[in-house]
């Protein structure tokens, strides 16, 4: 790691750990949840409100940003931080995942992936080198190697071939990053291997041989189920170096994140708090709340009295009305409350790890969420 | 006027006047622009941001609120102010205008109007008495008599018949209001008469005979053109009492409002700043700005450096990107900037009237807007 980018664990509780990533644009307290700012905006939120929830870092999507407004344009306008009014750290993914889930007519070769933009049908090419170039143009603080997010389900042979390609791309990504990086920027490798423990181990070892300042675990939360996901997290964190941050990509629910923290993960991202927020689904300290439900029509109680979020103090009856009426303010308030809940969850997790009470904390949250989901 | 609701003119410049309405929930500086909070929300804005723009009062739509969430429900939840987190004054219309523009299968009789809800097709009846009852359940500070918004164009006979009905409804509205009102609430009459000066005069005189603490001019900005509108405003304000506020309903553009202020109007409401905001059309001190325009794609200048609004400091290139991408943040920022522009316009108008420089100010704004519209 460069002197400008570092990670230190300050306390452990079993495999769970709390600490901080230090980077030029600020400290990222871990475990950390990164709200997703797909198209240079955490949807339906003012940037200052994202910051006020306690988020130390947000995620931007390379796929979306390279297509619109375009990486070169963002660079010309001063980089992604300036463009989107966010001066704290930003992590960008490599674009690989969205190419698989959103683009049309994908063709994967050794060189990279060619696809048609879902916006205008233009043919676009994404190689490991271009993925890094785009992320450097955006100016993100933590960048990700281009990988192939192995589809689920995959046979062992398919997973192995996909993994091998991803490891070759990881090596090329690092080489490109070395030529383009600015001081304090970091590139993370991504463990793949589908649901095969030996492939996950092989992938982790291959990445460690290449050497990265942080490691992600990818290709999970794609339908394999929580047990398989936790198994793959465990085999990965057992191997990955203790002194590097570990990032579980695209996860997830409060229970998924707490389970992964218990297994040694440090960073998460997920569209769930904002996407659910736009659909009237709230995350609260009392569990999930579906604000569309008619039983809230005359409920004068605040969405979440245990939350410190201003948006969570709005009455359920009013939020129900806004959601049912399709009013933007409903999306704005519930997204805000959800992102803050996720940040409060991480803050409590950090404290519980420092206090060596993490297991009890995770169990308490699981119970709150188990009850509410039975509604 | 009751002791709790009063109006005082503090300065005049020609027919233009500035002053203040005092009501139990706060002072309304005039000329005043009321952002429209149709369904218990000024669309895409947090209530505290609406307040921070300088708005002293907002408008709620009786038609929408009586259908959803329902006036009785709002009353049960503590009234509209509590429900929508707005503790300053609220003016509600009577619902008549929206019945004409939104509802299906309308049937107008002497008794009132029966219509089908545009939401669920339910048959709903609105009489002068029910319109007042709904507004009292909502708890609005300024209420409006039920009237028939005369369609445009209308023959003189049609306009006369419609006006006569509206005047009978105004009398019944006042009688109902007398029985239900709370201290400090006020009921305004509405001048109708289409584009016929003698009918406007007849209507104003009829309302003054009934007696109201404030008078609105309705049925304008419906396609009659600015010249006809200004003519009708002039004949109305020439007759209406000097010591009562005058409200031009549903108007309008900056130029329309300044022209009406020059002719003695004090209050305005319009969906334009919020509706335009949701479509990427900004009102700035430099004129109108269509943020969808490709020439803003790489424009790093702020939307409106002359505005004190935080949202107006965002760069045009970023706003262009948000608007083109259909991101809610685009609607949020441009709506906020527009509502603040409207408030700043009113603040400048008040100052210019006090300084006896209103004509020059209105001309300056007209020139800024004339140039920008030719873009």
Q: Work out the minimum CA distance from B40 to partner chain A, whole angstroms.
A: 8
Kindly report the average pLDDT of chain B as a whole number.
96
List the catalytic residues of B. Answer: 93, 269
Question: Looking at residue B375, what is its pLDDT?
Answer: 44
Whether residue A169 is predicted with pLDDT greater than 80 in this model: the reply is yes
Whether residue B22 is predicted with pLDDT greater than 90 in this model: the reply is yes
Question: Looking at residue B100, what is its pLDDT?
Answer: 85
Question: Looking at residue B101, what is its pLDDT?
Answer: 86
List, for residues A232-247, the tens digit of each pLDDT value: 999 999 999 999 999 9
Which two three-digit tokens encode residue B26?
């706060």
| Strand ordering across the sheet containing A16-23 | A6-13, A16-23, A26-30
Please list the residues that pair with B59 across neighbouring strands: B36, B91
List, for residues B225-256, the tens digit of each pLDDT value: 999 999 999 999 999 999 999 999 999 999 99
pLDDT band at residue A103 under the 50/70/90 scheme: confident
pTM over 0.95: yes
Q: How many CB pairs under 8 A join A and B?
A: 90
Question: Looking at residue B345, what is its pLDDT?
Answer: 98
* Residue percentage of chain B with pLDDT more than 70: 98
Name the least confident of A361-375, B174-188, B269-283: A361-375
Rounded to whole angstroms, how far apart are CA atoms B7 and A19? 61
Question: Looking at residue B149, what is its pLDDT?
Answer: 87
Whether residue A372 is predicted with pLDDT greater than 70 in this model: the reply is no
List, for residues B129-165, the tens digit of each pLDDT value: 999 999 999 999 999 999 998 889 999 999 999 999 9
Q: CA separation (Å) from A233 to A169, A334, A361? A: 22, 30, 20
Q: Report, as an integer, the average pLDDT of A121-143.
A: 97
List, for residues B263-284, the tens digit of each pLDDT value: 999 999 999 999 999 999 999 9
pLDDT band at residue B352 under the 50/70/90 scheme: very high
Whether residue B186 is predicted with pLDDT greater than 70 in this model: the reply is yes
Whether residue B1 is predicted with pLDDT greater than 90 in this model: the reply is no
Rounded to whole angstroms, how far apart are CA atoms A137 and B55? 42
Q: Report, as an integer, the average pLDDT of A30-58.
A: 98
pLDDT band at residue A374 under the 50/70/90 scheme: very low
- The secondary structure of residue B36, as a DSSP letter, is B
pLDDT band at residue B179 under the 50/70/90 scheme: very high
Is B208 buried (19+), middle (13-18) or exposed (0-12) by CB count in 10 A? middle
Between A374 and A268, the more confident residue is A268
Catalytic pick among A93, A141, A147, A304: A93
List, for residues A183-204, the tens digit of each pLDDT value: 999 999 999 999 999 999 999 9
Question: At A127, is the secondary structure helix, strand, or coil?
Answer: coil
Rounded to whole angstroms, how far apart are CA atoms B146 and B126? 9
The complex's ipTM works out to 0.97
Residue spans of alpha helices (H) in B42-187: 47-52, 62-67, 71-76, 80-84, 96-102, 128-138, 156-180
Q: Report, as an integer, the average pLDDT of B216-221.
A: 96
Please list the residues that pair with A125 across neighbouring strands: A114
Q: Report, as an integer, the average pLDDT of A329-344.
A: 98
Question: Looking at residue B373, what is its pLDDT?
Answer: 53
User: Is B103:B154 a contact under the CB 8 Å cutoff?
Assistant: no
A209 is catalytic: no
Q: Which residues from B are below 8 Å from A when comparing CB atoms? A: 39-41, 43-46, 68-69, 73, 76-78, 83-85, 297-298, 300, 314-315, 317-318, 321-322, 324-325, 327-329, 331-332
Q: Using the beta-carbon criterion (under 8 Å), do A77 and B327 form an inter-chain contact?
A: no
Question: Looking at residue B168, what is its pLDDT?
Answer: 98
Question: Which residues in chain A touch residue B317, judged by CB atoms under 8 angstroms apart?
Answer: 69, 73, 77, 83
Q: Which residues from A are below 8 Å from B when comparing CB atoms? A: 39-41, 43-46, 68-69, 73, 76-78, 83-85, 297-298, 300, 314-315, 317-318, 321-322, 324-325, 327-329, 331-332
Q: Using the beta-carbon criterion (under 8 Å), do B327 and A39 form an inter-chain contact?
A: yes
List, for residues B308-339, the tens digit of each pLDDT value: 999 999 999 999 999 999 999 999 999 999 99
Q: Work out the minimum CA distance from A178 to partner chain B, whole angstroms.
A: 29
User: Is A209:A167 a contact under the CB 8 Å cutoff?
Assistant: no
pLDDT band at residue B351 under the 50/70/90 scheme: very high
Rounded to whole angstroms, how far apart are CA atoms A163 and A205? 12
Domains and CATH numbers, chain B: 13-269 (3.20.20.105), 277-374 (no CATH)
Q: Nearest to residue B143, comparing CAs of B151, B153, B135, B154?
A: B135
pLDDT band at residue B102 under the 50/70/90 scheme: confident
């Amino acid at each position: 790691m460069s002197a400008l980018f570092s990670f230190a664990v300050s306390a452990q509780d079993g495999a769970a750990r709390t600490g901080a990533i230090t980077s030029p644009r600020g400290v990222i307290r871990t475990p950390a949840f990164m709200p997703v700012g797909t198209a240079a905006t955490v949807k339906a939120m003012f940037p200052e409100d994202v910051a006020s929830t306690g988020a130390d870092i947000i995620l931007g999507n390379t796929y979306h940003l390279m297509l619109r407004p375009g990486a070169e344009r963002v660079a010309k306008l001063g980089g992604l931080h300036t463009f989107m009014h966010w001066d704290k750290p930003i992590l960008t993914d490599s674009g690989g995942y969205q190419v698989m889930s959103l683009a049309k007519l994908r063709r994967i070769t050794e060189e990279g992936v060619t696809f048609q933009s879902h916006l205008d049908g233009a043919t676009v090419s994404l190689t490991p080198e271009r993925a890094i170039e785009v992320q450097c143009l955006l100016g993100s603080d933590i960048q990700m190697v281009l990988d192939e997010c192995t589809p689920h389900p995959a046979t062992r042979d398919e997973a192995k071939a996909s993994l091998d390609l991803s490891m070759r791309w990881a090596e090329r990504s690092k080489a490109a990053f070395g030529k383009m990086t600015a001081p304090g920027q970091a590139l993370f490798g991504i463990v793949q291997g589908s649901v095969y423990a030996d492939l996950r181990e092989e992938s982790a070892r291959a990445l460690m041989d290449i050497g990265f300042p942080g490691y992600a675990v990818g290709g999970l939360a794609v339908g394999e189920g929580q047990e398989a996901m936790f198994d793959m997290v465990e085999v990965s964190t057992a191997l990955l170096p203790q002194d590097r941050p570990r990032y579980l990509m695209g996860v997830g629910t409060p229970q998924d994140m707490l389970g992964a923290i218990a297994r040694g993960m440090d960073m998460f991202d997920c569209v769930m708090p904002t996407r659910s927020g736009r659909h009237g689904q709230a995350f609260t300290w009392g569990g999930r709340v579906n604000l569309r439900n008619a039983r809230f029509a005359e409920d004068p109680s605040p969405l979440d009295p245990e939350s410190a979020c201003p948006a969570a103090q709005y009455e359920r009856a009013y939020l129900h009305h806004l959601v049912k009426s399709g009013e933007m303010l409903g999306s704005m308030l519930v997204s805000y409350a959800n992102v803050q809940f996720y940040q409060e969850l991480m803050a409590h997790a950090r404290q519980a790890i420092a206090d060596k009470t993490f297991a009890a904390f995770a169990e308490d949250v699981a119970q709150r969420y188990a009850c509410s989901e039975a509604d």
